Each structure stands twice: as structure tokens, then as C-alpha cells.
Chains A and B, each alone.
Chain A
Amino acid sequence: MSGYDQVPEAARPFLGPTPSGKPVPVKVLRKDRLDWKEKVALIEIFKGMGFTLREMFRPRFTIQFPEEPFPRHPSVKGRPVLAKNPDGSIRCVSCGLCEFVCPARAITIDPGETSDPIQREPRDFQIDMLRCILCGMCEEACPEEAILMSDELLMATDARPKALHHLEDLLVPVEKLQERIDYTKRMYRKWNRPQS
């Protein structure tokens, strides 16, 4: 099957011949000459006025953005953040892959050691949001699902130092990021595992 049946009926003439080879009769809906009613245009004017009048009482499309959150798909790449486990520990092990892969060199990690003898943990983790281009390569490089692109889009500040986000600004409970984690997992499964 060519998927012909999945196309809505109205759009089928644009597909050309049917799979069976029979040509589809194309119905032209447009008239090339106007009749007198259309020439006078009065009826059309009143139809139009009626239409706009009706539209005035329809619900609004607008979302009042800063006050009213608008629904964001998990594919939105907002401010990169670091996931914090439910027990309060930081997922990041400061492996430096994001630092290395970052094309804008926005990330600077100061690695440190925790009491857990083998675990690394960032002592500080800086993302310079003036440099960050929200490409999401850090997220893709991260082996620990620690750095993730959140859906936070309001990143403007009035001072340069405020654009330098430190570890404490970046930590976000992992539950809030679960949707994004699931989404990236699904996508990576799609892209990175070509079935041989």
C-alpha cells in the first residue's frame, strides 16, 4: 500500500493516480467568472461583517504569557539545568563531557570529591547564559542524565553577573525533568540504535 488510504479524501486529488492506476477526477471548485451578486459585493460585505461580528465573541487564542504558563512540549530546549535526586544528591559527576562538547564554551566545571569514596561531584558548575546557545549538546553528551534542557525560557537579566548561573541556580529536582528524560530516551533510542 502506498498509504493512499490514510490521506484525507479531500486531499486525494493532489496525489495523482490511485494505486490501481485509475485517474482521480479532479473537481475544480473555483469559478473563473463572477456572477452579478458577487460583482455588486453587497452580500459578500454583509457576510463578512457577520463573520467578524461572530468572531468577536469567540474564545481568545492568546495566552497571557508571563502570568499564564503555556503548554510546552518536552522537545523544547530551554535553560540547561542539573538534576537533583530525591535524596538531595547531585547527579552530575563532573565528568567534563558537556564542558568539552559545548560549542560555545559556556560551561565551566570545578570538580570535587565527595565522602562517598569514588564519587565525583561538582564543587561548582557554571553555565554562562550569555554564551549558551541552547543547542542541547551537553544534554546529549551527558552519561548520567544529569544535565538536561529544561522548559524554562525566561533567561533575560539586567546584569552580566546574573547571567552566570552557578551550581545552586542550576539544581532542579529530577521529578520536574522526568518528562524531558523520557523524551530524550525515546529519541536516543530512535536515533542512536540503527538496527543492523
Chain B
Amino acid sequence: MAKIKVNGREVEAPDGANLLLFLNDTLGLNIPHYCFHPALEKVGSCRMCQVEFVMRRKDPDGKESVRRVLGVSCRETVRDGLEVETHGEAARRARKEAMEFLLVNHPLDCPICDKAGECRLQDYAYQTGQLEGRTIEPRRKEEKLVDLGEVILLDRERCILCTRCVRFFKHFEGRAQLGVVERGDRSHIAAFYDQPLTGNYQGNLADICPVGALTLKKFRFKQRSWDLTPVPSICPLCSRGCNIFVDVARHGVVRRIRPRLEPEVNGYFICDQGRLEFDDLNMVEERLRFARVRREGRLVERPMEEALAEAARLVREAGEGLLALASPFLTVEEGEAFLALTEKAGFKGFWSPPPTGLGDRHLRTDDPCPNRRGLEKAGLQAVHKEALAAAIPSASLVFLAGERILRLLPPEVLSLCAVKHVILLERVLGGLEGAVQVALPGASWAEKSGTFVNADGRKQRISPALRPPGEAAPDGRILEEIRRLVLLQGSGKEEEK
């Protein structure tokens, strides 16, 4: 620990820590900054984090002399004897002037800018309190719509040249894709040879851009940021378990997924699949909203109680002939409920899809199961294609439970199931309409709470961001209810009633 002096007060600070991070995160001084990003190289180009360094030196004759120097705090590390003034006259003025320079050419785009509401430039402009520009010259005109590949759009007028995006590729991927071209007041951000951006992490540019210059195509004009409610959750697309926020709009629609800081798992970033593949959560038309039961050869919508009783009867009657297969998307709690329900089953486990091959050296893993470790710990076995294909023909009843199981199972397995009696706990009916006896409307990962255990064995909590439609309910609740009914029917209490 080092002893430093901040605004005249002695503070203990970890030796070698970044000064700006320490001032902001530990002391909460809220010093503005644009070019600084904790995960990226520090360049100190925006000059917004300037503070006053107080240097004291003893002259040979014993007289103390004090020198005050303005400097950026983002490039300074904490060391013993450091003395800074963060909100003195000089520092404040320096920051205000830097801000004014940044705003000289920034367009008044806020009403149509997707960043508005979470824009650092907006926030600090209000903080410094200078609400009107002093310039009379026309603002710089630049290209407002530059296509940077499939994910990102660039607006050069709004850019303040903090070069966070440039450094992002250089340091995260080791290979620069963007650069600052031209010189002086003509410098701007461009992709090399105007090639579209590549890689699985482009979406992070929209997060790290402190202004609205880099925006997501998918989020463009969809929702104002202040209308979004962030719900902390865990990305289920691979076994990494990245921490995310699910941003839900007023009317219960997921508009955006963005990373949530978790240094031990994903840091500041997430991959593009996790960020962009959420349309499935907003599914409306295809969704099973109410339970369906086969009556006289046809699947008809019935009340939930009736469907649950029917499912319980089928499970009890099947006994050992039950083949129970869970989706790898089930949470730990749901896995336990599933196991309890299918204790008599002849064959049970959770489906283990083959490696996707999408893994990379950053975040994405090859394993598409978000909760493999958790389900194994709960007592379920991972089931592969061969074992499943061998077991299905001898089973009398197939119980498929969990989100996306129909999509994850290979077609040949599904065709084996199609000739059996099937109980389905899913969000959609999929291709099994002919075989399903009872279809129970389940919930997606964004509609339930529970625990995922990631590839490193880290338990992480998901929380509900949406409300399941109709009578649909979280899988765990449905599984527990079926089990209760199985026990009731087994003890003969149902007849007594």
C-alpha cells in the first residue's frame, strides 16, 4: 500500500494501481475521461482526466518549494508520496477547456443519436455546465453513415477521436482493423482499405465508444436508452457464462444485450453471438402459450392443470419405460427437479450437443451447454447421440424437457422420437406434432431465475427479465408440479378425492 494525498487528505492506495481508476472507483470522484478504458492501452489523448499534481521539493538550503503541474491522471500509477488536486481551479478549468474543444465540432445530434442517455459526452457537458458553444464557425461536415461490416455503423461527425476503437482491435485481437487516417483537423477513423470489420467481437465497439460514433446496426433507432431496464443475467450461448445485462424495453421486449463487468469471467466484453442472437426471446407467434393435450387423436389447448395431470399419469404409467432427456439449458435447480421426477426412468440424462467449433482464444468456448457442470453436479448424465439412438426404440414414453431441446437434437434422433409417445416441455412445438401427447409451455432463460455453472465451475445467477406469455411457466415449476401429481396419484389420494 502506498500513501498518497488527494485534495489534501491522506489516503492509502494499492501500489501500482492506475491513478484515475483509483480516484474514480475507490474514491468516487467521478473524473471525466474518454480515451481511457481500463481494458485498453492508456494514451491520454482526450485530456479530460487532467488533475493537478503537487510537487514538493526541499532545496539544499532546507527551504521547501511547491510546483503545481497539470497532467492526465489516466497514465499515472499510484506511488508513495503522490499528491494530487482533482477539483482545484486549474484542474477544473483545464477539463472544461478540453471539453469545449471536443464539442467544437460535435453535431447537435442527440435527439436522433442512439447513444443519447448513456453518452459520456452528454453527461460531462451537463456537468461542466457550459450549455452553449462560443464558436460561430460552421461545424465540420463529415460522413454520417459509414458501414463498418455487419454489426457496426460509424458516424464520423460524432467521433471525438479518442481512438478507443483503434486500440480495442490492436490489444484485444492483436491485429488492428481500424486506424486514424489523415492529419490534423482532417483526421478521422477508417477501416483499413475500407474493408468490413471481421471477428466475433465487433459489437463491443458500440460499448466502448464514449459517444454515439459507433453504433450497433441491430439496435439502431429501436429504443431510447432511458426506456430500457437492465436486468443482470448470464449469457447461455456457451459454457463461458459471460455476465450480461438484458435490456428490456417498456412493453416487455428485449432490445439489447450488453456485457456486465466481471473480471473473473468476461471482463468488459462479450462476443457478437451473445450480443446479437436474442431474437428468440422476443418470439411471439410460434410460442406455445397454453398447454396442449392429445384428445381423440388431436392436440387441443387445455388448462394447465389438466395437462399436468395427464403428463403425471403418463409418467407414472410408463414406469421403467420412460426415457427422460433434459435440455442443457436447464438450470441447476431445474436439473434437480428433473432428476427427482424421473427417478424411476429406464434412461435419463441431458443432451450434450457436439462441440460447435466456434470457440476462440478469447471468450467463446466450443461447448454450447451453458450449464454442463451444473447438471452433472446435480446428478444428470451427459447423453450423446449413439447412446440415445440405441435407447429410444425400447422406450415406451419419451420426456423431452427444456428450452431449445428440439432445436439442439439431431434430426435422426427426432425422427426416432416421432414414432413414440412424447411429453414435451418446450417453448415451441417443433417438428414433433404427430408424436406429442402432452405439450407443456416452458420458459426461456430470460424468463426464469436459477443458477448456471460455467466451464470453470463458477456458479452464477440468472434473473428473469421478461414475463412468460399465457400460461407458460418456468420449467422448474412445471417439473415440480408434475412430480407432486405423480406422487399424489401413486398414493391413491387422487381417487379418494
Contact = CB atoms under 8 A, between A and B. Distances in A.
Nearest to A96: B224
A117 B155 CA distance: 11
B70 to A, nearest CB: 26
Interface in B154-170: 155
B227 A120 contact: no
A93 B110 CA distance: 10
B192 interface: no
A143 B226 contact: no
A95 B122 CA distance: 15
Contact of A100 (B112, B220, B224): B224
A112 interface: yes
Contacts of B110: 95, 143
Interface of B is mostly: loop
B390 interface: no
B145 A117 contact: yes
Contacts, number: 37
A117 B116 CA distance: 18
Interface residues of A, number: 16
A36 B145 CA distance: 93
A95 B220 contact: no
B225 to A, nearest CB: 9
B226 A100 contact: yes
A144 B110 CA distance: 11
B221 interface: yes
Nearest to A97: B111
B294 to A, nearest CB: 41
Interface in B92-115: 109-112
B112 A118 contact: yes
Name, among B112, B155, B227, the residue most crowded by chain A CB atoms within 10 Å (CB to CB).
B112
A120 B226 contact: no
Given A93-B111, A111-B222, A144-B111, A118 B155 contact: yes
A95 B111 contact: yes
Given A100-B224, A111-B222, A120-B221, A93 B112 contact: yes
B487 to A, nearest CB: 47
A119 to B, nearest CB: 7
Nearest to B144: A118
Interface in A89-112: 93-97, 99-100, 111-112
Contacts of A99: 224, 227
B256 to A, nearest CB: 14
Contacts of B224: 95-96, 99-100
Given A100-B227, A118-B145, A143-B111, A95 B116 contact: yes
Contacts of B220: 113
Given A118-B145, A143-B111, A113 B221 contact: yes
Contact of A96 (B145, B155, B227): B227
A113 B112 CA distance: 10
A166 B112 CA distance: 21
A94 B109 CA distance: 12
Interface string B218-234: 00111110110000000
A95 B112 contact: yes
Interface string A62-98: 0000000000000000000000000000000111110
Interface in B65-95: none
A117 B221 contact: no
Contacts of A96: 223-224, 226-227
Contacts of B111: 93, 95, 97, 120, 143-144
Given A112-B221, A113-B221, A120 B145 contact: no
Name, among A118, A119, A120, the residue most crowded by chain B CB atoms within 10 Å (CB to CB).
A118
B135 to A, nearest CB: 19
Interface of B: 109-112, 116, 144-145, 155, 220-224, 226-227
Given A95-B116, A95-B224, A96-B224, 8 more contacts: A95-B110, A95-B112, A99-B227, A111-B221, A112-B221, A113-B220, A118-B112, A119-B112
22 contacts: A95-B110, A95-B112, A95-B116, A95-B224, A96-B223, A96-B224, A96-B226, A96-B227, A97-B111, A99-B224, A99-B227, A100-B224, A100-B226, A100-B227, A113-B220, A117-B144, A118-B145, A118-B155, A120-B111, A120-B112, A143-B111, A144-B111
The 6 closest A-B pairs by CB, nearest first: A95-B111, A96-B224, A117-B145, A118-B144, A120-B112, A93-B112
